[in-house]
Structure 1
Amino acid sequence: MPALSEDVSKLTDRYQTTVPSSVRKQLNLGKGDRIRYCTEPNGRIYIEAMVAEEGDPALDAFLDFIEADIKTHPERLQAINDGLHDRLKALVGNVDVNLDAPLSDEDE
């Protein structure tokens, strides 16, 4: 299959290169954007723009709140004492969690 375009860039002494402007335009890249290098089984390598993962708005807002509260009131931070540790362990200590297992239909 013929290429739609061919662009060339040169590696510097530090193995860095400039992404050609036509490639930047095609991938809609801007300064600071990230690209991923993908290698196919046949050895062909291509690049693609990295799409930023969208966060959970509720979780992001909660984490922002926690961060602001810690910055404003660092004196409120407390170490977990043995009593709280023991209570938490009693609640979930015997629960097996496999983070690699797929979710069941009822969990999704």
Structure 2
Amino acid sequence: MSSAIEDDSTLTDRYQTTVPASVRRALNLKRRDRIHYTIRPNGEVVLTRARDESSQDPVVANFLAFLERDMQQQPENIRPVTASTFAEAERLTSGIEVDLDEALPEDDDDA
């Protein structure tokens, strides 16, 4: 999105609200879709379309949550990916071929 979308809604007596049309359009929400709320430490609330839980990998989700916490707690450690960083990653992985369709080997517990 190129510019911020802002809108308001009102809470009912039962703490319910209608998601404004501008937000529904921006998130491509349809009837019965689920909404995900992220409450940041500064009190900011981020509203996103909820992902299908059956497609979420719990290991990846936990790793991403760890990264998010780490970046929030230690923002001074965040560094940009520069051209030289990218070149170093390319150098380290040059000549390595990966077949994404290849079956993973069984874990070797004897190692």
TM-score, structure 2 as length reference = 0.45
Structure with greater Cα Rg: 1
TM-score, structure 1 as length reference = 0.46
